[in-house]
């Protein structure tokens, strides 16, 4: 298997805070790899380390076979980045943004102009090619940022929360485009805290918290390895009382969050039969998903 | 494996695409920009030059307006570099995140900071050229030596761009720049011989003035406009170059500390 990103024992602290704490990572050519984690888990710092924008305190790192941060500049010739915050050039049109960005990679104008129509097509922005950036919608800006990241025809694309702040329509369009990129054989490394995004796009995922990878695998593997297959959510004012009396009897494991009780079970039938007799409670029975895994691994408390 | 923030700068030609980017932005608002470069210094030069100059005797044998013209070229190039390095530089670094976008490409922070310095100096050059053109048109100089004002404007630009970048690297926001203008730029304008000869100042203020870069710029510009080879050319050029190099290095270290973490 062809490894395009390889990290061993990556460590980065700010003051006393270990933001990245002994990270090992192997990302294979052509896969879409998702880095999941709550805010402050160390995802963005990890991306910055992998790109060679900051130096680790210790550890070893290779990006496309180049030692990073030492040879990061050469490695970045073949990398595209979609940053978390919009940093398009507001003074320029859509086309000018692509042109100017291509020059940063040492491309000559003729080369860039030859690529622009296909990039605009890919980003669904052909009709907007002469529009200035401030006139674009949030979704269009994101698509332009994605097109810009492709200007150098990169082998790996880093995406830091690519759909945060987008409406569902815009988000689905981005997902479709990212799938098209993996179909072309590009390697994608994305950070997200949308489980649906991770589940739909990623071949493999790693859940990150406190600077460490807690669990790695395909979405299905993560669910199988970490959590019972069935979930029954119980709602109602009396749900907490009910949980105290019955939850342990029916559920392998349960968690209380406000007026909801999450029961994790291997077989939901006995619990569902019992709940049908409880008039004051409502319930929902569903298969376990990535969000359950995420909440189990990283806890339910807020991370602000 | 910590990054060495104190490493010497690595210059390369990779700053060129950034310079071209800034030039493209500038072209879009060239009209208002040229007006800005011209209006303020020319109004000062004409107003004070004729208004005040009419009441004043010639200074060292040159009419006051010509005396003032040399100061005006220098202080307008200084202002131009300072505004570009402070306000526009801060916008590119912080508000628009332009630097962040560039740093994700094979361009490094050293290239970006270098491009800021060269770009701000380029705008100074333009500003100096604009004022010089007015001086020529008004017939205030007929000296071929006045052409040396052009490279001088670029050097003054490098010097004040680098000094300004130190402030930008430390700035939490735009308000911070008021300190720089109040505490550095304004005293420089008053103490360096823009409006009157430094020799008018008390001895201790003359001593302060001798250390300020704008003094050295004006000491070069004034003879050039009156068809004289400036005395101590090398000293003045070295002082300006040292300010530029040392300030650039300090700014670069501060930017590395701010951004490469």
Q: How far apart are the first and last CA of chain A?
A: 39
Is B104 in contact with A55 (Cβ distance < 8 A)?
A: no
pLDDT at A237: 87
Pairing relationship of beta strands A187-192 and A156-160 according to DSSP bridges: parallel
Are A139 and A11 within one domain? yes
pLDDT at A258: 84
A286 burial via Cβ count (<10 Å: 0-12, 13-18, 19+) = exposed
Are A233 and A217 within one domain? no
Are A233 and A199 within one domain? no
pLDDT at B3: 66
The alpha-carbon gap from B14 to the nearest alpha carbon of chain A, in Å, equals 8
The alpha-carbon gap from A12 to the nearest alpha carbon of chain B, in Å, equals 9
The Cα A13–Cα A18 span in angstroms is 4
Residue that terminates a domain, selected from A224, A250, A273: A224
Looking at beta carbons, which residues of chain B come within 8 Å of A74? Answer: 106
Is A303 among the domain residues? no
pLDDT at A47: 95
Residue B93 DSSP class: I
pLDDT at B2: 54
Helix crossing, B213-225 with B233-259: angle to 10°?
Answer: 140
Of A73, A79, A100, the CB nearest to B24: A100
Are A78 and A180 within one domain? yes
Of B14, B25, B105, the CB nearest to A91: B25
Is B17 in contact with A76 (Cβ distance < 8 A)?
A: no
Are A91 and A17 within one domain? yes
Q: Contact, A192 vs A163, CB < 8 A?
A: yes
Q: pLDDT band for position B38 (50/70/90)?
A: confident
CA-nearest of A28, A24, A30 to A7 is: A24
Residue B9 DSSP class: P
State the residue range of the domain holding A244.
Answer: 228-287
Is A87 in contact with B101 (Cβ distance < 8 A)?
A: yes
Are A116 and A158 within one domain? yes
The alpha-carbon gap from B111 to the nearest alpha carbon of chain A, in Å, equals 11
Looking at beta carbons, which residues of chain B come within 8 Å of A96? Answer: 24
Residues 6+ apart with CB under 8 A from B2: A55, A57
Residue B13 touches chain A, beta carbons under 8 Å: no
| Whether residue B199 has pLDDT greater than 90 | yes
SS3 of A91-136: the string is CCEHHHHHHHHHHHCCCCHHHHHHHHHHHHHHCCCHHHCCCEHHHC
Is A304 among the domain residues? no
Is A292 among the domain residues? no
Pairing relationship of beta strands A66-67 and A58-63 according to DSSP bridges: antiparallel
Are A47 and A139 within one domain? yes
| Whether residue B247 has pLDDT greater than 70 | yes
The alpha-carbon gap from A164 to the nearest alpha carbon of chain B, in Å, equals 18
Looking at beta carbons, which residues of chain A come within 8 Å of B96? Answer: 87, 89-90
CA-nearest of B162, B67, B169, B168 to B124 is: B162
Mutation target for B interface from A72, A91, A158: give the one with most B CBs within 10 A.
Answer: A91
Q: Which residue of A lies nearest to B103 if distances are taken between CA atoms?
A: A53
Are A112 and A251 within one domain? no
Which stretches of chain A score pLDDT less than 50?
A: none
pLDDT at B33: 82
CA distances from B185 to A162, A215, B155, B166, B181 (A): 44, 57, 17, 14, 5
Mutation target for A interface from B7, B99, B104, B111: give the one with most A CBs within 10 A.
Answer: B104
Are A74 and A199 within one domain? yes
pLDDT at B11: 84
B183 burial via Cβ count (<10 Å: 0-12, 13-18, 19+) = exposed
The alpha-carbon gap from B97 to the nearest alpha carbon of chain A, in Å, equals 5
Mutation target for B interface from A47, A48, A53: give the one with most B CBs within 10 A.
Answer: A53
Are A92 and A66 within one domain? yes
Q: Contact, A169 vs A139, CB < 8 A?
A: yes
CATH number reported for the structural domain that contains residue A281 in this entry: 3.30.70
pTM over 0.90: yes
Looking at beta carbons, which residues of chain B come within 8 Å of A88? Answer: 101
pLDDT at A165: 87
Domains contained in chain A, number: 2
Q: pLDDT band for position B1 (50/70/90)?
A: very low
Are A249 and A216 within one domain? no
Residue B3 touches chain A, beta carbons under 8 Å: yes
Residue B56 touches chain A, beta carbons under 8 Å: no
Residue that terminates a domain, selected from A224, A246, A268: A224
Are A21 and A165 within one domain? yes
CA distances from B63 to A98, B47, B53, B57, B196 (A): 53, 14, 7, 7, 12
Q: Contact, B117 vs B162, CB < 8 A?
A: yes
pLDDT at A193: 84
Is A55 among the domain residues? yes
Alpha-helix runs per DSSP H in chain B: 16-28, 30-46, 64-83, 89-90, 98-103, 109-137, 149-170, 177-180, 186-191, 203-211, 213-225, 233-259
Phi, psi of A265 (to 5 degrees): -135, 155
The Cα A89–Cα A168 span in angstroms is 25
- Which residues between 92 and 121 in chain B have a beta carbon less than 8 angstroms from any beta carbon of chain A? 96-98, 100-108
**Chain A positions touching chain B (beta carbons under 8 Å):** 14, 51, 53-59, 69, 73-74, 76-77, 79, 81, 83, 85-92, 96, 100-101, 103-106, 152
Looking at beta carbons, which residues of chain A come within 8 Å of B17? Answer: 100, 103-104, 106
Q: Which token pair is B171? A: 């700035």
Q: Which residue of A lies nearest to B261 if distances are taken between CA atoms?
A: A54
For B122-163, the pLDDT digits (tens) are 999 999 999 999 999 999 998 999 999 999 999 999 999 999
Is A8 among the domain residues? yes
The alpha-carbon gap from B113 to the nearest alpha carbon of chain A, in Å, equals 15
């Amino acid at each position: 298997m062809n490894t395009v990103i390889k990290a061993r024992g990556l460590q980065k602290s700010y003051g006393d805070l270990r933001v990245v704490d002994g990270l090992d990572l192997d990302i294979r050519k052509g896969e879409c790899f998702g880095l999941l984690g709550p805010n402050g888990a160390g995802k963005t710092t990890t991306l910055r380390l992998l790109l060679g924008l900051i130096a680790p305190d210790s550890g070893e790192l290779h990006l496309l076979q180049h030692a990073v941060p030492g040879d990061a500049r050469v490695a970045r010739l073949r990398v595209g980045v979609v940053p978390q915050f919009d940093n398009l050039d507001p003074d320029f049109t859509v086309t000018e943004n692509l042109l100017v960005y291509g020059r940063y990679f040492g491309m000559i104008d003729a080369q860039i102009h030859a690529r622009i129509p296909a990039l605009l097509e890919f980003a669904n922005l052909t009709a907007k090619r002469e529009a200035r950036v401030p006139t674009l919608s949030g979704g269009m800006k994101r698509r332009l940022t994605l097109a810009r990241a492709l200007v150098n025809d990169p082998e790996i694309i880093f995406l830091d929360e690519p759909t945060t702040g987008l409406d569902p329509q815009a988000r689905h369009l981005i997902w479709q485009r990212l799938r098209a990129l993996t179909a072309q054989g590009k390697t994608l490394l994305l950070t997200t805290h949308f489980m649906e995004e991770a589940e739909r796009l990623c071949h493999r995922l790693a859940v990150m918290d406190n600077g460490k990878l807690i669990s790695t695998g395909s979405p299905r593997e993560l669910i199988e390895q970490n959590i019972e297959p069935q979930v029954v959510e119980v709602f109602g004012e009396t749900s907490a009382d009910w949980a105290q009396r019955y939850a342990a009897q029916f559920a392998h494991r349960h968690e209380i969050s406000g007026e909801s009780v999450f029961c994790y079970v291997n077989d939901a039938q006995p619990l569902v039969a019992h709940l049908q007799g409880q008039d004051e409670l409502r319930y929902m029975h569903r298969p376990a998903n990535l969000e359950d895994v995420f909440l189990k691994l990283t806890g339910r408390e807020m991370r602000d | 494996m910590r990054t060495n923030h104190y490493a010497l700068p690595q210059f390369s030609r990779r700053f060129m695409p950034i310079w071209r980017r800034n030039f493209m932005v500038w072209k879009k608002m060239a009209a208002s920009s040229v007006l800005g470069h011209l209006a303020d210094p020319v109004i000062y030069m004409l107003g004070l030059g004729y208004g005040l100059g009419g009441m004043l005797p010639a200074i060292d044998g040159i009419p006051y307006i010509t005396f003032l013209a040399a100061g005006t070229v220098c202080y307008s190039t200084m202002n131009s570099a300072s505004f570009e390095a402070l306000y526009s530089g801060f916008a590119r670094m912080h508000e628009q995140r332009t630097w962040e976008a560039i740093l994700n490409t094979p361009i490094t922070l050293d290239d970006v900071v270098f491009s800021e310095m060269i770009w701000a100096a380029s705008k100074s050059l333009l500003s100096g050229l604009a004022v010089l053109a007015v001086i020529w048109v008004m017939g205030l100089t007929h000296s071929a030596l006045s052409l040396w004002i052009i490279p001088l404007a670029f050097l003054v630009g490098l010097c004040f761009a680098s000094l300004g970048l130190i402030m930008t690297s430390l700035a939490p926001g735009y308000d911070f720049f008021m300190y720089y203008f109040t505490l550095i730029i304004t005293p420089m304008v008053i103490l360096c011989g823009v409006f009157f000869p430094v020799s008018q100042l008390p001895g201790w203020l003359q001593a302060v003035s001798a250390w300020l870069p704008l003094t050295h710029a004006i000491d070069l510009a004034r003879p050039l406009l009156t068809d004289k080879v400036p005395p101590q050319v090398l000293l003045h050029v070295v002082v300006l170059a040292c300010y530029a190099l040392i300030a650039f290095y300090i700014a670069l270290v501060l930017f590395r500390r701010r951004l490469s973490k």
